[in-house]
Structure 1
Amino acid sequence: MSSFSQIDPLPNIKDVEVRDTIGQGSFAIVKKATLKNDDSLVFAIKFVHLHTCKKFGLDDNAIANEVLIHKKCSKHPNVIRLLNFSVSTNYLWLAMELAAGGDLFDKIEPDVGIPDQEVVQFYFQQLLNAVHYLHNECGVAHRDIKPENILLDNHGNMKLADFGLATVFKRQNGTYRNSIDVCGSPPYMAPDVLADGGYRSDVADIWSCGILLFVLLTGSTPWEEPSANDQWYVDFVENDGRILAGSWERLDIDTLSLIRGILKPKVSQRYSISKIQSHRWLQKKRVSFVDENYQCNNAEELFKRLTSNLKVSLSDDDYFRFNHDSLLMTQKTGDFDSENHYISNKITPLFSQQDEGFAVLKHDNLYKKYIPAATQNVCHPDPVINVSNFNDQKKWHMIMSQDPSSSQYKVSTEENFKPFSNNIYTRFYSVEDIEDILKVLENAIKTLNVSNCSSIVNEYANLIKLLGSAPIYPLSISIRTIDTRRLLLAGYLKIQQLDEDLKTVTFIRTKGDPLEWRRFFKKVTLLSREIVLQ
């Protein structure tokens, strides 16, 4: 299927130079852009294809609603700013602030979280400040607070993005309007959203903030959905939040007190934002790297403290443990039929466990649609350095030392790179032959139960015939699967050649939770350890 930008060319915008694609979704494409007379001013432009929107059931009012609400909510430093917008024949375009630092949650270890509590406090306080602004000054509830919509600027500050599900809950006379539609991501959704009779959308936002705090601290969500069909949630409610098993046992008493106050199933008992901000967990220690407006004033320190815990283990113990756990999971799954996999009447998963995923090899110059599709998911470029005078081993490690993601593999890295400048941490390096790389990746992907439409190795052989003498790089393996919470996860593995032998394999998410994408990356990398250069 062709991209809509190929069917209907993007409009020309006066005085604007439209550059690389940095995101694409079902009915929109995001481009990096600059002013023609000043290329130092970089921003993002989202082109919404109007005809495709209508095919997805979005009418003109729904499209206009996102724009008007986003414009209304663009005066806070922790919210992505809408700079300008207009409509052409086929597109609505929105010029927005560029979140150059990428996703916050792809810099957090799954099942670990951020060990540095000061960093957690910093991001949680910025989130609260943004949500308080939306609720109190704009009368708007976001209704889709989740990792995919938490971005970073080039100083490491949090930016709340995507107002596609936002609603105005406060009328001009100060009274509240209840929401009745079920929306949001199940793990982050409040139980009142699923209840009959409508809900206060601003109070539901506060619940989502509490789930995000739990994820920042532990690297996992406490449950898959807040319903009677989720045993973890049932146990939480029946014990009045006093659970000390699993990830909960890693939280200290002050943290538990705060999270239990936020995650009150009864709306009348749930903490307000002002009560959260006055809680002793947020008051006991002042964050050292913020200014008077609670914005980061030391990006280098924040970046180091945020990313120092990121590790990719390729050890024998982890390799054999993973294969053992995978075998047990396969045996366990075989004991249950599909009816035992609960699908709520209120929640329709984007991708059920019975659907097959896929992994397809493509050549970037032939298939242009395999590009990032997050709100603003900017890929960090591969490092470039003059290494002509070094032997192979030294040359490879000199190149890797310029990439901060190499520190995950115990490679010493330089400290002269710019923090929060599109640094991507889902990448490994290899000097193996491309045929061997593809074979190992194919086996790893199959082990993770991602079905192949056809053999990746065979597809590569067909591409060689098709391309003839043309360059074979870059290559992409498009991935579609489900994550550990039964939700859609999609992206692609981009293989590029840096040197005669040295290649990068970069995992770029296009849909789904960035924390789950990092989990997928680490599993594939562990299973592919024989081709990973350390």
Structure 2
Amino acid sequence: MDKTFMECHGYTYQSPLGKGMFGKVVTAHSSQMRKLVAVKIIDLRKVDSSYKQKFLLHEKKIVKSLKHPNIIRTYEIFESKIGTVYMVMENCSKGDLEKLIVARGPLTEQLSCRLFTQLCMAIQYLHEKNVAHRDLKCENLLLDSKLNLKVCDFGLSKSITYTDGQMVLSKTYCGTSTYAPPELLKSCPYNPKVSDVWSMGVVLYKMLYASMPFSSTNVTKMIKMQMKHELNFPNDPLVSSEAKTLMHCLLHPVVEERITISQILESPWVLNQTKPEACAEASTSTANSGQANIPDEKAEECQQMPCDMSDAEEGPSTASPI
């Protein structure tokens, strides 16, 4: 990182934010925008050529085209002569969702639903643009000063293409294993849009329980756990049956039966949690009040909502792997 070079472009270094697989992120003050921004810095001398060609060029192209209130905005990208890329982005003062969960423990259903709905809207926007994120996890979901969710890090994202009307399946097996669906962990060609939906299910489970639905250092064992479609719902905290049903549909091991984003937004849990009376009740109650009379039973198998993939835009492809 060259602080003088950054200053020449109008950005004064402030402090480090974090490190990733291919670079680091710092905060800087923008003299032009008169506010703090986040700057992702990638030293191309320290990454292999395949990353440059396959991921970095793609990420730079995608982030410039994205404009959504729940997706981190990229203001500018510039590069030094020695091969350091600077990606100037919106700064989120509340950190990431993972840190929020570590600090607070399980989130209330109302807050979880608000954040999850924002995640749905962001991913629906991406999928409509035929972009799959492919690395959705709590660490890649940032929070602004008003606790609005912002999807970030498009380093592993993919532009989806079609041949003869059928999606070209992805054969790049990337992301974080504990957030990955069984079809990806089994190294099968997969529909990355449907894979994103599974990862969203893991995020929702993490918000509500502050733990992972499938956690194992042995990937083979984790796949077996996923394929059983038997989620463990702890007794504490109490979580509504509607939320459990939704998680069952999100974390369905059969690709053709996994719920779509449009169906998520019409699910009983999302609709009930976003009713005005539900919001009013939540504002005057403690984290888990109002749920004491909800039986802590295993969620029924998606009885109140369809889990088929009838939405053509989000559905699985029957195309042969290419």
TM-score w.r.t. structure 2 length?
A: 0.76
What's the counterpart of residue 52 of structure 2? 59
RMSD: 3.4
- The match for 2:42 among 45, 48, 73 is 48
Q: Describe the superposition over 1:169-206 as per-residue Cα deviations: whole angstroms up to 9, x where unpaired.
A: 24498642211121111111011112344000010000
Native 8 Å contact 2:106 2:237 kept in 1? no
**Contiguous gaps of at least 5 residues in structure 2:** 278-282, 288-322
**Contiguous gaps of at least 5 residues in structure 1:** 290-300, 307-534
Native 8 Å contact 1:119 1:305 kept in 2? no
The residue matched to 1:76 in structure 2 has which SS? coil
1:217 aligns with 2:208: yes
- The match for 1:191 among 153, 165, 182 is 182
Structure 1 pair 218–174 and aligned structure 2 pair: CA distance change class (3 A): same
- The match for 2:120 among 121, 128, 133 is 128
What's the counterpart of residue 514 of structure 1? none
What's the counterpart of residue 96 of structure 1? 89
Q: Distance in 2 between matches of 1:206 and 1:195?
A: 17
What's the counterpart of residue 242 of structure 2? 254
Native 8 Å contact 2:173 2:187 kept in 1? no
Q: Describe the superposition over 1:501-529 as per-residue Cα deviations: whole angstroms up to 9, x where unpaired.
A: xxxxxxxxxxxxxxxxxxxxxxxxxxxxx
Q: Give 2:42's aligned amino acid.
A: V
Q: Describe the superposition over 1:11-70 as per-residue Cα deviations: whole angstroms up to 9, x where unpaired.
A: 54333333333333454232322333663x221222211111238x52345321111122
The residue matched to 1:83 in structure 2 has which SS? strand
Structure 1 pair 288–19 and aligned structure 2 pair: CA distance change class (3 A): farther
What's the counterpart of residue 531 of structure 1? none
Native 8 Å contact 1:111 1:220 kept in 2? no
Q: Distance in 1 between matches of 2:187 and 2:130?
A: 23
Native 8 Å contact 1:120 1:216 kept in 2? yes
Native 8 Å contact 2:109 2:239 kept in 1? no
The residue matched to 1:65 in structure 2 has which SS? helix
Q: Describe the superposition over 1:71-113 as per-residue Cα deviations: whole angstroms up to 9, x where unpaired.
A: 22x2110110111112221211111111111122222258951
How far apart are residue 164 of structure 1 and its match?
A: 0.8
What's the counterpart of residue 13 of structure 2? 18
Native 8 Å contact 2:77 2:85 kept in 1? yes
What's the counterpart of residue 69 of structure 1? 62
How far apart are residue 125 of structure 1 and its match?
A: 0.4
Q: Distance in 2 between matches of 1:38 and 1:110?
A: 31
Native 8 Å contact 1:141 1:168 kept in 2? yes
Structure 1 pair 212–47 and aligned structure 2 pair: CA distance change class (3 A): same
TM-score w.r.t. structure 1 length?
A: 0.48
1:274 aligns with 2:269: no
Structure 1 pair 287–45 and aligned structure 2 pair: CA distance change class (3 A): farther
Native 8 Å contact 1:144 1:185 kept in 2? yes
Q: Distance in 2 between matches of 1:125 and 1:226?
A: 30
Native 8 Å contact 1:190 1:226 kept in 2? no
- 1:422-461 matched pairs, under 5 angstroms: none
Q: Distance in 1 between matches of 2:194 and 2:206?
A: 19
What's the counterpart of residue 295 of structure 2? none
Native 8 Å contact 1:191 1:227 kept in 2? no
Structure 1 pair 234–196 and aligned structure 2 pair: CA distance change class (3 A): closer
What's the counterpart of residue 113 of structure 1? 106
Q: Distance in 1 between matches of 2:40 and 2:257?
A: 40
What's the counterpart of residue 317 of structure 2? none
How far apart are residue 286 of structure 1 and its match?
A: 2.0
Structure 1 pair 29–255 and aligned structure 2 pair: CA distance change class (3 A): closer
How far apart are residue 247 of structure 1 and its match?
A: 6.0
1:167 aligns with 2:158: yes
- The match for 1:157 among 141, 148, 167 is 148
> Larger C-alpha radius of gyration, 1 or 2?
1
Structure 1 pair 20–267 and aligned structure 2 pair: CA distance change class (3 A): same
How far apart are residue 223 of structure 1 and its match?
A: 1.2
Native 8 Å contact 2:177 2:185 kept in 1? no
What's the counterpart of residue 26 of structure 2? 31
Structure 1 pair 129–173 and aligned structure 2 pair: CA distance change class (3 A): farther
Aligned residues: 283
What's the counterpart of residue 332 of structure 1? none
Structure 1 pair 148–251 and aligned structure 2 pair: CA distance change class (3 A): same
What's the counterpart of residue 132 of structure 2? 141
Q: Distance in 2 between matches of 1:46 and 1:228?
A: 31
Q: Distance in 2 between matches of 1:204 and 1:276?
A: 15
Q: Distance in 2 between matches of 1:249 and 1:305?
A: 12
Q: Describe the superposition over 1:334-355 as per-residue Cα deviations: whole angstroms up to 9, x where unpaired.
A: xxxxxxxxxxxxxxxxxxxxxx
Q: Describe the superposition over 1:92-140 as per-residue Cα deviations: whole angstroms up to 9, x where unpaired.
A: 11111111111222222589511x211111011011111101101x211
The residue matched to 2:27 in structure 1 has which SS? strand
The residue matched to 1:93 in structure 2 has which SS? strand
